[in-house]
Amino acid sequence: MEYWVISIIGIILLLVIISNIRIVQQAKAFVIERLGSYRSTWGTGIHVKIPIIDRIAKQVLLKEQVADFPPQPVITKDNVTMQIDTVVYFQVTDPKLYTYGIDRPILALEKLTATTLRNIIGDLELDETLTSREHVNTKMRVILDEATDPWGIKVNRVELKNIIPPREIQDAMEKQMKAERERRESILRAEGEKKSAVLVAEGNKASKILSAEADKQAEILRAEAKKEATIREAEGEAIAILKVQEANANGIRLLNESKPTEQILTIKSLEAFEKAAEGKATKIIIPSQIQGIAGLASSIKEIIKE
């Protein structure tokens, strides 16, 4: 009987111990209270708490977290009301402070973000607000990070997600953007037409230059062809003269070789004179020897007639 009692008690104790074993996962921390006061912070690993005496007050996520807050109405320095929603990237660095530093820390961070945003935007005009996002982000991060240190929170980054100005402001901005786009379009069109005109002018210039060079080359080729034709014609005439001279020389050589009589020489002289008389010359000078021969020929002709 006693054995069964001890066994049951042992099983109950084992179950109690097992039920009080806790495994803390990576990037998490458990805040432990003992008899209602802070005892310790459990990190990653296996831990055992004392039943009834110890209590897990809070499980804290140590990863970087993102808080996307709804749009907040803000008023700029020039009295323009707009809606701005922000995104805050934060991380819990001290689980104890995060648990005991403030009640509902995320809600507190949201309210602090809204008030900080209103203070910063209140010092800026509309145009500055739309063009100074980086400045606003940096300033908000510094202020929020400093303010949340007692809460065990580190603010890593703040982003203005959307800036929504009033409808009339949006219409005016759209008209301004449309006018700016039309202006840029006109400038681009004018620049395109200018470049097109320049290209056409350069093309005409290049065409004229090429045409002039072609005419010049053609003139050079014609002159060279004419020169070559003249040279060939002169060479032909020279060859012809040379042939005539060679023929005359051969004739004279043959005549000398045949040892002609004085009568034959006289006849050849008369034939030469006849050829000279058939030319286009209007005045012919006849040597005295030829004249005597001509008179002799006339006398012979008259004797033959009688």
pLDDT tens for each residue of 248-265: 777 666 666 666 556 565
Average pLDDT over residues 256-282: 58
Question: What value does the mean pLDDT of the chain take?
Answer: 81
Mean pLDDT along residues 151-177 = 83
Predicted TM-score (pTM) of the model is 0.55
Centre a 10 Å sphere on the Cβ of residue 132 and count the other Cβ atoms it contains: 17
How far is 13 from 5, CA to CA, in rounded Å? 12
Homologous superfamily, domain 64-165: Band 7 domain (3.30.479.30)
The count of other CB atoms within 10 Å of the CB of residue 57 is 19
Sequence spans of domains, the chain: 2-61, 64-165, 264-278+285-300
**Which residue in 239, 243, 284, 248 sits closest to 268, CA to CA?**
248
Region 92-106: mean pLDDT is: 93
Phi/psi for 275 (5° steps) reads: -65, -35
Q: Which of 111-115, 116-120, 178-182 has the lowest average pLDDT?
A: 178-182
Q: Which candidate, 129, 217, 142, 108, places its Cα nearest to that of 173?
A: 129
Measured distance CA(100)–CA(177) in Å, rounded: 51
Per-residue confidence band for 294, with pLDDT thresholds at 50, 70 and 90: very low
Longest Cα separation, the chain: 205
Which helix (H) or strand (E) segment holds residue 17: the answer is helix 2-19
Q: What is the pLDDT of residues 21-36, one digit of tens each?
A: 889 999 999 999 999 8
CA 72/CA 116 separation, integer angstroms: 11
At residue 51, the pLDDT reads 85
The torsion of the CA quartet 224, 229, 235, 239, rounded to 10 degrees, works out to 160
